[in-house]
Amino acid sequence: MDLDFIKKLIKKNDTKIVMIVMDGIGGLPREEDGLTELETADTPNLDSLAAKGVCGLQQPVASGITPGSGPGHLALFGYDPVKYQVGRGVLSALGIGFDLKPEDVAARGNFCTIDENGVVVDRRAGRIPTEKNIELCNMLKGIELPGVDVFVETVKEHRFLLVLRGSGLSGDLIDTDPQRVGEKPLQPRGLSSEAGKTVELVRRFIDEARTLLRNQHPANMILFRGFSKKPCWPSMTEVFGLNCAAIAAYPMYRGLSRLLGMHVLETGQAIKEEFDTLEDNWDKFDFFFLHVKKTDSYGEDGDFVRKVKVIEEVDREIPRLLGLKPDVIIVTGDHSTPSALKFHSWHPVPVLLWSKYCRADNVKQFGERACISGGLGPRIPAVDIMPIVLANAKRLEKYGA
Amino acid sequence: MDLDFIKKLIKKNDTKIVMIVMDGIGGLPREEDGLTELETADTPNLDSLAAKGVCGLQQPVASGITPGSGPGHLALFGYDPVKYQVGRGVLSALGIGFDLKPEDVAARGNFCTIDENGVVVDRRAGRIPTEKNIELCNMLKGIELPGVDVFVETVKEHRFLLVLRGSGLSGDLIDTDPQRVGEKPLQPRGLSSEAGKTVELVRRFIDEARTLLRNQHPANMILFRGFSKKPCWPSMTEVFGLNCAAIAAYPMYRGLSRLLGMHVLETGQAIKEEFDTLEDNWDKFDFFFLHVKKTDSYGEDGDFVRKVKVIEEVDREIPRLLGLKPDVIIVTGDHSTPSALKFHSWHPVPVLLWSKYCRADNVKQFGERACISGGLGPRIPAVDIMPIVLANAKRLEKYGA
C-alpha cells in the first residue's frame, strides 16, 4: 500500500505495538515426522496467542520471490521493498553504526583468496577471524585517493565496509564479486555516465589493495558488492506518527531500523536480554521492533533442532510481553529459512496478529500449515500488515465519508 | 508480476519442469451427488501428488472474469494477459497453423446473413457447414487488392481468416461486426492515422465480397473482428532462461506456444501419445507444456461423464511422468469449463504444484473444494504461478541483500 495513502489517515493515539520478527522463522517439514521447525517447537504461549489472534502467511516481496533481510524487513514495516531499495553497502554501513553522509558512497567488501593467476578460489578467504580482519583493514586504511576521504571499517570475519566521501560520487557501479569461484574479480564498471569518477577511484583502491595484500594468506584480495548511497526515505514517525524503537542485537537490523528513523536501543544479545530491553523502555515508545536473529542463523546452518530451541526460547518470553499489556502484538519473520534448504526461501512466512479487536479466526497453533486457514489468508503481502496493525492500534481514521 | 523484475533474478539450473494444462478443467457440481467433474473422477495419482504438493485455485485474469484460451494460457506462462493481448485475428491464424509474418494483418471473419436493406439478420449465417465455408472462401480467394497479397482461409462453420500481407499495414481497425442483429455491418474505420491504407484495402475487400456473395444464402455477407498483427513479445527463453517445449495436439495452442518461443513438438492427438512425446523429448528441454484439450471440449458439450473420463485418462499417465523424475510438476487448467454451463467460466481453476521443496499443505485430493484450503490460496493470480515454479526449480536468485 502506498505510504502517502496511509499517512493521510493517521491519527494519534497512545496505544502500544510490539512487532517480534523471528528472522527466517518459516521452514519446511523434516522427513521423520513431516513437521516444520515451528510446528515441532513446543510453543504454548504463541499457540495461545494464535488462538486469540488472527493468523496467516505473508509474502515479503511477491509470490516465488526469496527476499534478502533488507526487503523482508522493509515490507514488514510497510515500505514496499520493490520501491524502497537499499544497497548492500549502505546496509553494511548502517549495521556497524557508521555515520553515513548523504554524499557518501558505501560498498560491502569481502576479503577473498585468489590463486597465482588471479582467479578467486575462496570468496570469503576461509572466513578469517575478525581480529585478522581488523589487522588487514588497518593496512587498507593507508590507501589514499585524490579528492576524497577513504574509510575502511571492519564488519565481521571476512566482511568489511568501504566508504568514499567527497563530491560527485555515484553508487551506480557493478559488483566486482564474480559471485562464484574459478573466475577473476570483475573490473569496476559504471552503470551510468555519472559513475566515471567513482569507477576510477575504486579501480585505484583495488589496485593498491592487491599490492598491499599480496603476501597475505588466505586473505590476499578484496571483492566489492552493493555500491550505494544512503537513501532518503520518509521515517516511520513521519508516515505512521509512531515513535519507534528497535531492539536488535545484530548490526544490519540496527542499521536498517535507523534508516527508517527508529531509535536503536542498546541491548544484550540474548533473547531474554532483548525482552529486558523491551521492559526497560516500555514507557518511552509507541512501536517496538524486536529482532531475533538465531532462527535464521540456525536455519542457514541446517540445524533444525537448534532453530526449534530458539523458537521455544522466544515462546517463554511471551508471558513477560503480555505483562506489559501491549495493544497490538505481531509475531512473524522477514522470510523463511528452512533448515532443509540452509538458505532464505520463497515460502510464505507465518504471521500472528493479536489485539483486543483483531477478530480471531479458527487457528489454534502457530505453525505453517495451521496458518494457511487463518484470517489473514495464505499469502497476504507483507506490506499490508502495518496498515492492519495501525487499525488494530486505533491509529487510522476512516477513509471517506 | 512484471517480467522485467523476474528476468533480473533468473539463474541457470538444470532442473526440469512439467506443466500439464487440462483445458477447462474446473467444473461445477452435478445435481445427483453434488460433485464436480474433477471431484467425481477417480484420480489416485493426482490425489497422491496433491497430498505431497501444494494446492489452490488460480484466477487466470481477475475475479469474475471468464478467460478465453489465449489469456488463460498466457497467464499460466507468467505473461499478464491484460498487458499481453493477442488479437482475435492473430489467434485465428495461430489456430489453423497459418504461418503469420511480422508485417501481416489478420482478421477473424464471419459469414453472416443480411436482408435486402443490408441489415444483419444472422451474425453466423445459420452456422453454415464447413464444406460450404470452403466453397465460399474459394470464391473470396479471387479478390485481388493492390500492393498486397490476400489470404482467405476456412476456419470452421461460419468462421474464416483474412490475412493481408504487404508493407505499411496496420491492425488498428475497428470491428465491422455490429455485435447485434438489426444493424448494418459497420464501415471499416481506423483507430490511428497509420491505419488509412489498411482501411481502404479492407473496404475494397468487403465491397467485392458483398458482390461475390450477393446471390448466396444464407451466407451473403461477411463481418470482421480483431484486426491484429503478430505481437513481438519476449520469449520464455529470454525471460525465464528456459528451453521450452510444447506438446499440444490442437493448432491454437501450438500457435500460442510458438508465439512465446516454445519449441512445438510433433505429437499424436491422444493423451497417451502426448506423454509418449514427453518421454521421447525428455532430455532436450527444461520446461514442458503438455496440453490436454478434451476436458474443455466435453465441458463445452455439456458432457459431464466424458469430461470425467478424460481427467481419469490423464491421471493414469502420472506414474509415467513421475518415472521421468521431474523437479517441478504443475497440474491445472487455463480456465474452468463446467459441463453445467457448456462454456468457459469465471470460476477459479484448481492448481497443484509439486516439488521436493514445495511445503505441502493439508490438501489430500485434487478437487475444487479441497483446493480452497490449499497453501496457494483460493484465488491466486495465475501469473504468480510461474515465479513459484521457478523458485521451486531453484532458478531464482534472492531479491536484495
Among chain B residues, CA nearest to A339: B357
Distance from CA of B144 to the nearest CA of A (A): 52
Q: Determine, for residues B388 and A344 on separate chains, whether the beta-carbon distance falls below 8 Å.
A: no
Shortest Cα–Cα distance, B51 to chain A (Å): 12
**Cross-strand partners of B173:** B190
Instruction: Spell out which residues of chain B touch residue A87, defining contact as CB-CB under 8 Å.
Output: 401
Say which DSSP state B107 is in.
E
CB contact under 8 A, B401 and A338: no
Shortest distance between the Cα of B191 and any Cα of chain A, in A, equals 35
Q: List CB contacts of B173: < 8 A, sequence separation 6 or more.
A: B107, B188, B189, B190, B191, B195, B198, B199, B202, B224, B227
| CA distance linking residue B156 with residue B110, whole number of Å | 10
Residue B4 in contact with partner chain A when CB distance is under 8 A: no
> How far B400 CA sits from the closest chain A CA (Å)?
5
Instruction: Determine the 3-state secondary structure of B276 from DSSP.
Output: helix
Strand partners, B355: B328
**Smallest CA–CA distance from B378 into chain A, residue:** A378
**The three cell numbers locating residue A56:** 496467516
Angle of CA points A176, B391, B375, to nearest 5°: 145
| DSSP class per residue in B186-212 | PPP-BSSGGGHHHHHHHHHHHHHHHHH
> Residue A95: what pLDDT?
80
Residues 55-114 of B with CB under 8 A from A: 56
The reply to whether residue B400 touches residue A85, judged by beta carbons under 8 angstroms, is yes
Ordered domains of chain A (ranges, CATH): 3-84+233-392 (3.40.720.10), 91-228 (no CATH)
Q: Which of B1, B373, B380 sits opposite A372 (nearest CB)?
A: B373
Q: pLDDT tens per residue, chain A (401 residues)?
A: 789 999 999 999 999 999 999 999 999 999 999 999 999 999 999 999 999 999 999 999 999 999 999 999 999 999 999 999 988 899 889 888 898 999 999 999 999 999 999 999 999 999 899 999 999 999 999 999 999 999 999 998 999 999 999 999 999 999 999 988 999 999 999 999 999 999 999 999 999 999 999 999 999 999 999 999 999 899 999 999 999 999 999 888 988 999 999 999 999 999 999 999 999 999 999 999 999 999 999 999 999 999 999 999 999 999 999 999 999 999 999 999 999 999 999 999 999 999 999 999 999 999 999 999 999 999 999 999 999 999 999 999 999 98
Looking at the complex, report in whole angstroms how far the Cα of residue B364 sits from the nearest Cα belonging to chain A.
Answer: 13
How far apart CA A124 and CA B2 sit, in angstroms, is 34
DSSP secondary structure letter of residue B82: T
Nearest CA in chain B to A71: B400
Q: Is the pLDDT of residue B400 over 90?
A: no
Q: Pick from B1, B56, B359: which is nearest to A62 by CB?
A: B1
The answer to pTM > 0.80 is: yes
Give CA–CA dist A267/A105, Å, rounded. 29
Check if the interface score ipTM surpasses 0.95: no
State mean pLDDT over B246-256.
92
Using CB atoms within 10 Å of the CB of residue A127, give its burial: 0 to 12 exposed, 13 to 18 middle, 19+ buried: middle
Taking CA atoms, B234 is separated from B78, B229, B258, in Å, by 12, 16, 12
Neighbours of A206 (CB within 10 A): 21
Contact B357 A338 (CB under 8 A): yes
B354 by DSSP, 3-state: which?
strand
pLDDT at B313 over 80: yes
Nearest residue in chain A measured CA to CA from B363: A369
B180 touches chain A (CB under 8 A): no
Mean pLDDT for chain B?
Answer: 96
Q: Determine contact, residues B98/B149, Cβ cutoff 8 Å.
A: no
C-alpha of B237 from chain center = 20
CB contact under 8 Å between A373 and B375, yes or no, is no
Tell me the mean pLDDT in the region B157-167: 96
Evaluate the CA torsion angle A376, A380, A381, A382 in order and state its sign: positive
Distance from the Cα of B198 to chain A's closest Cα (Å) equals: 43
pLDDT at A88: 87
Q: Check if the beta carbon of residue B357 is closer than 8 Å to that of residue A340.
A: yes
| A233 lies within 8 A of chain B by CB | no
Residue closest to B160 by CA, chosen among B232, B112, B102: B112
The one-letter code for the residue type at A265 is L
Nearest CA-CA partner of B46 in B264, B398, B311: B311
Calpha distance B161→B221 (Å, rounded): 14
The tally of CA atoms less than 13 A away on the side-chain side of residue B25 is 30
Q: What are the residue ranges of helices labelled H in B220-293?
A: 236-240, 251-259, 271-280
Kindly state whether A251 is in contact with chain B, defined as any CB-CB distance less than 8 angstroms. Answer: no
Cell (9 digits) for B300: 463445452
DSSP label at residue B78: T
Window 120-159 of A: residues touching B by CB (8 A cutoff) are none
3-state secondary structure chain A: CCHHHHHCCECCCCCCEEEEEECCEECCCCCCCCCCHHHHCCCHHHHHHHHHCEEEEEECCCCCCCECHHHHHHHHCCCCCCCCCCCHHHHHHHHCCCCCCCCCEEEEEEEEEECCCCCEEECCCCCCCHHHHHHHHHHHCCCCECCEEEEEEEEECCEEEEEEECCCCCCCECCCCCCCCCCCCCCCCECCHHHHHHHHHHHHHHHHHHHHHCCCCCCCEEEEEEEECCCCCCCHHHHHCCCEEEECCCHHHHHHHHHCCCEECCCCCCHHHHHHHHHHCHHHCCEEEEEECHHHHHHHHCCHHHHHHHHHHHHHHHHHHHHCCCCEEEEECCCECCCCCCCCECCCEEEEEEECCCCCCCCCCCCHHHHHCCCCEEEEEHHHHHHHHHHHCCCECCCCC
CB atoms within 10 A of CB A382: 30
The cell for A300 is 542457514
